[in-house]
Amino acid sequence: MNIKKSPLILIPLVCIALPQLAGAPASPASPASPASPASQTGPRPNIIIILADDLGYGDLSCMYSHDMRTPNIDRFFSEGARLDNFYANASLCSPSRASLLTGRYCDMAGVQGVIRNEGPDSYYNNFGYLTPGITMMPEALKAAGYTTALIGKWHLGYSSPNTPNERGFDVFKGFLGGMMDDYYAHTRMGFPALRINNDACPKVAGHITDVFTDWAVDFAREQHEKGKPYFLYLAYNAPHVPLAPPQDWLDKVKRREPGISETRAKLVATIEHMDAGIGRLFDYLKQSGQWDNTLIIFTSDNGGFRGSEPNNGPYRGFKSTMYEGGLRVPAAFYLKGRIESKRLPNMAQIMDIFPTICDLLGINPGAPCDGISILPALEGKAQITDERYFWFLIREMGQGGNKLQTAIRKGPFKLLQNFASEPYELYDLAADPAEQHPLKIDAKGKTYKDLFEQMRKRIACAGAVPWNMPADKYVSWAEMNK
């Protein structure tokens, strides 16, 4: 099985991490014995990944938000394994989702930044082209007999070969892009955004969070009646802007939290409304008898967006920055009898989810992963996950100037360049988790030299993977909707 587990995580980040298309594996397969696969101990579990969109590290009432009420997610974090040091692979939507679904560093999957096609100049503001042929989580699970569904936000391509059905999902009900302009009209740039597989979705009424929850419950019910295991990737677009909670939810927050700003009230209400939807899905799973045999994972694609007034906990920065507030995300895993009631200090990244699921099921991911299985830690066994290099990268327009923003961490030390025009910053996160006091950089110092050299090599490796589509394959949003 091509699943890495400690102690082999001491391998340096060199160009063995080039993608499959270059003919080189991501890393050697771990010789460690795999965990007992679920398929050998009973019926294979259903798998549900719930991904919030721009949810700040602190924006749950079980985290750092005292103005928030998220009882369903809070209960889930209490009953499951909560990871206090869980990271997105990037501080933007598309690259983080690429890492989730491939188990690769986002640059090794061809997605360095936001994938766009919606404006007249979007080709020059597009920073991702999901590598054709790279193995995807839904493909591996489909090969193992799972029915696969994406309900919600895709954001990994608008056209062939990078549509959800072409990349392993049997069912796609959601939208292709990065956001909606209206949570009720379900539109983007004046056109209907929702799709069912490859077709425009007939008009549906209701707040989009409720629509996605309804579709998720319906899918779980249909598969349960068929008696087949399923993989459901439920990718809410909440609490991404525009903040548009139902009015009754907003009114409730304002009554409860006097003095709260309008923007913050909308964010809180949007998250609380999503929490209610998640609770409705959980209730159905329990009522139908599926709860006890379903692996459920909850996390976010990146930290909170500055303009939404998020709570990113005690950490500096926001979405699209290389500081902890842009990269740390809340995360919890649950599988009755195997992954329950613990808080873990282990560092992990969103790319670790794919190999962890494969390890649990005892299946081959189909291609090497950059991530590692963290199943031993989730099950309460001793596992070192921190003694590897954690690599973060985005490429963005605007202030970013289409140039790279990068960070790399090993142990407590983190080296970052938040913008290409800014100097490098080195932090000891054990002593300064809020990144308020950068260490003096000694160009000859061992820590700086090591992190700088690994960052340099990672950037070189990333250069082998195209991150924009050929111009003749680009189709604008307006052209798609003619």
Environment class of residue 421 by beta-carbon count within 10 Å: exposed (0-12), middle (13-18) or buried (19+)?
exposed
Largest CA distance in the chain: 64
φ and ψ at 138, to 5 degrees? Answer: -65, -30
DSSP letters for 350-389: GGGHHHHHHHHHT---SS--SSB--HHHHTT-----SSS-
SS3 148: strand
The answer to whether residues 411 and 386 touch, using CB atoms and an 8 Å cutoff, is yes
**Per-residue CA distances from 427 to 129, 225, 409, 410, 446 (Å):** 32, 53, 9, 11, 14
Tokens of 186: 């379900």
Non-local CB neighbours of 99 within 8 Å, separated by 6+ positions: 88, 89, 90, 105, 106, 109, 349, 350, 351, 371
Check if the beta carbon of residue 237 is closer than 8 Å to that of residue 176.
no
Phi-psi region of 313 (alpha: psi -120 to 50; beta: other; left: phi over 0): left
Ramachandran sector of residue 474 (left: φ over 0; alpha: ψ -120 to 50; beta: rest) = beta
- Which secondary-structure segment (H or E) carries 458? helix 446-462
- CA–CA separation, 400 vs 125, rounded Å? 11
Spatial strand order in the sheet of 403-410: 390-396, 403-410, 413-417, 425-428
Torsion angle of alpha carbons 156, 367, 359, 336, nearest 10°?
20
d(CA 414, CA 426): 6
Residues identified as active-site:
93, 155
Of 32, 62, 236, 39, residue with least CA distance to 154: 236
Are 132 and 469 in contact by the 8 Å Cβ rule? The answer is no
